[in-house]
Amino acid sequence: MSSKDLTSDNNLLRVCLDKPFSDQKPGTSGLRKSTKYFQQSNYLESFLEAILQTLPGIEGGILVVGGDGRFGNKHGIDVIIRMAAAHGVNKIITTVDGILSTPAASHLIRTEKAVGGIILSASHNPGGSEGDFGVKINGPNGGPAVESLTDAIYAKTTKLDHYLIFNHDPISLDSSGTHAISNTIIEVIDGIDAYVELMQKIFDLDKIRDFLNNDFHIAFDAMHAVTGPYAIRLFEGLLNTPSGTVRNGVPLEDFGGCHPDPNLTYAKDLASLLLEGKDFAFGAACDGDGDRNMILGRNCFVNPSDSLALLTANATCVPAYSNGLVGVARSMPTSSAVDVVAKDLGIDCFETPTGWKFFGNLLDSGQITLCGEESFGTGSNHVREKDGLWSVLFWLQILAEKKCSVQDLMRQHWAKFGRHYYSRHDYESIETDKAQDLYMRVESLLPSLIGSSFASHNVSLADNFTYRDPVDGSITNRQGLRIILDDGSRVVLRLSGTGTQGATLRVYLERYVSSNGNLTQDPQEALAELIQTIDSFAEITKRTGMKRPTVIT
Ligand code: G16
């Protein structure tokens, strides 16, 4: 049993831990576990204590706190407020109902000059008492904490013997207002205002409104997650689209029982509406915490890698980027579609490991303007997170300028730059040992693959990706197994850092067809030989017993 001691301040508690937790290592995006796991006594508090002891400038600093509205959000905010006050934070900024999207949190951290932020979200993972919960840590630049910080937090969790917390009634998040616990001010603000103002500065919303109001019908699916209130304000308010444009717009603690991951599997109602129906010319969805986006046109799904390339090629349509881009970056498994555009524009294109934190230094040092990941994430230097609604507005701005359909825009793009056929196959909930064995076996075979034949081509490179940060020189190794063929085709294998059940194997497949080749194939057909070859080489079906992936994107 933990013991609680009163310190000299009668309301300040020092709670002793029987022993430290050993499993609080942050993954690709903070600490993510099942809600039930987080409900273990002192589990959340231990991780928060480690953050509060590690984040530089906490005492006397400003901390931004919010979440995606999932089960546990308000309780978590209450605990953070009382613990942050116990650590002498000067001001905590949190939001009405605790609703704060990840990009909006990033913006607040930057504008309020906070020492960082704590975002309660398991992102695109399901929520509710049977779902997942998570704690994301952001640094003073507004971006996900860099590895040196998350490593230090993890190291702290393994040694903790106590945490500090104020005994205090929960601060009401029902409306805006200012409160205090001891010397700490708690400001509860509207979490939507500042973000909407930022969007008004970046985009020409009048132009988008005129375009949409001229019979260009759109549907947006907020998946009962955090973007609902933002989207209603932006689309049904400022852009004057009909009421009901935003579907599933009320944030629910369990996301209405849905999986708030905007892809063709989990946002299939919206996908069917666009891919089979005739009513809408444009559709989009965002994930649990509002940083991911999926873009659809009538009869057209936009692959996220293509989306990044298209935003790059058309960036000057957006007022904030009308002077062009300084450079772009993509994560290693993201297709090379953006590389071809960057080359054409004569700007740098960087390749980083998976995870938004790796874009931070490039954005902070002014070397890139746009960046993105294949996992439905695109963003720019306006914040230090990927930004779902920003991406949707970016698309609408381009369409308002070009006055064409999404499908036409994609076809014009491929006709100029060629097409990178691309797909990600996820094999979820594999037994961890089996997944590790499969992965390590493939890794050990890579050196022998170089120069040999693979899917009718020769392997020109096969390795485990190592990244050297061009700004601080730090090295991050073992970031994914790459098999690159002499025609530029690639297969990449990674084990996910965000799953909570067993292991998820991600297989990324890419094949380039130049502008005079066949540009209208089904991606799974275009990639069929690569798919078969990697399955037999990596023994995926044989070792997992799974005949097909859980999710195909
Ligand atoms: C997945 C994606 C990554 C993404 C990460 C965090 O990681 O593959 O590209 O950066 O989720 O995304 P979010 O911020 O939306 O949680 P992994 O390790 O599961 O592949």
Radius of gyration of the chain from Cα atoms? 23
What integer is the mean pLDDT of 368-380? Answer: 97
Residue type, 492: V
How far is 494 from 27, CA to CA, in rounded Å? Answer: 13
Predicted pLDDT at 114:
98
The closest-lying atom of ligand 1 relative to the alpha carbon of residue 375 is 9
pLDDT tens sequence across 271-324: 999 998 789 999 999 999 999 999 999 999 999 999 999 999 999 999 999 999
The pLDDT assigned to 5 comes to 54
Q: Which residues line ligand 1 (CB under 6 A)?
A: 28-29, 123-124, 287, 291-292, 331, 354-356, 373, 375, 496-498, 506
Confidence of residue 1 (pLDDT cuts 50, 70, 90): very low
User: Which residues does 151 contact at the CB level (< 8 Å), separation at least 6?
Assistant: none
Distance CA 152, CA 346 (A): 39
pLDDT averaged over every residue in the chain = 95
The rounded distance, in Å, linking the Cα atoms of 392 and 403 is 16
Q: How far is the CA of 18 from the centre of ligand 1 (A)?
A: 33
Q: Quick one: average pLDDT of 402-414?
A: 96
In contact, 105 and 188? CB cutoff 8 Å: no
| Residue 8 pLDDT exceeds 60 | no
Type of residue numbered 238: L
Give the number of the atom of ligand 1 that is nearest the alpha carbon of residue 28: 18
pLDDT band at 7 (very low <50, low <70, confident <90, very high): low
Q: What is the mean pLDDT of residues 107-114?
A: 98
Cα dihedral 378, 364, 233, 254 sign: positive
* Atom of ligand 1 at shortest range from CA of 355: 10
Query: Rounded to whole angstroms, how far apart are CA atoms 321 and 549?
Result: 39
6 band by pLDDT with thresholds 50, 70 and 90: low
Q: Give every strand in the sheet of 503-513, ordered side by side.
A: 453-454, 457-464, 481-485, 490-495, 503-513, 419-430, 551-552
Pocket test for ligand 1, best of 227, 354, 384 (most atoms within 8 A of CB): 354
Tens digits of per-residue pLDDT, 507-542? Answer: 999 999 999 999 999 999 999 999 999 999 999 999
Could you list the beta-strand ranges (E) of 447-496.
Answer: 453-454, 457-464, 467-468, 475-476, 481-485, 490-495
**311 vs 21, 25, 308, 370, 469, CA distance in Å?**
44, 35, 5, 8, 24
Rounded to the nearest 5°, which phi and psi values hold at 358? -75, -15
Q: Which residue out of 123, 307, 331, 380 is catalytically annotated?
A: 123
pLDDT at site 4: 57
Domains defined along the chain, listed by start? 3-189 (3.40.120.10), 195-417 (3.40.120.10), 419-552 (3.30.310.50)
Across the range 335-347, mean pLDDT stands at: 98
The predicted model scores a pTM of 0.93
Could you tell me which of 299, 361, 509, 290 has the C-alpha nearest to residue 421?
A: 509
pLDDT at 265 over 90: no
> What pLDDT does residue 500 have?
76
**How many whole angstroms separate alpha carbon 418 and alpha carbon 431?**
39
Residue 386 Cα: closest atom of ligand 1: 14
Residues of the chain with pLDDT > 90: what percent? 94
Tracing tokens 């992102």 back to the chain, one arrives at: 123
Helix (H, G, I), strand (E, B) or coil at 386: coil
Cβ atoms of 2 and 15 closer than 8 Å? yes
pLDDT of residue 160: 97
Closest Cα to atom 11 of ligand 1: 498
Q: Could you write out the three-class secondary structure of 18-78?
A: CCCCCCCCCEECEEEEEHHHHCCCCHHHHHHHHHHHHCCCCCCCEEEEEECCCCCHHHHHH
Contacts (Cβ under 8 Å, ≥6 apart) of 10: none
> Could you tell me which residues come within 8 angstroms of residue 78 by beta carbon, excluding any fewer than 6 positions away?
170, 171
CB 392 within 8 A of CB 199: no
Give residue for tokens 């991406």: 391
Q: Which residue has the higher pLDDT, 386 or 10?
A: 386
What's the gap in Å between 183 CA and the centre of ligand 1?
38
Asked whether the predicted pLDDT for residue 441 surpasses 70, the reply is yes
User: Apex CA 367: angle with CA 366 and CA 373, to 5°?
Assistant: 110
pLDDT at 273: 94
Active site residue 148: no
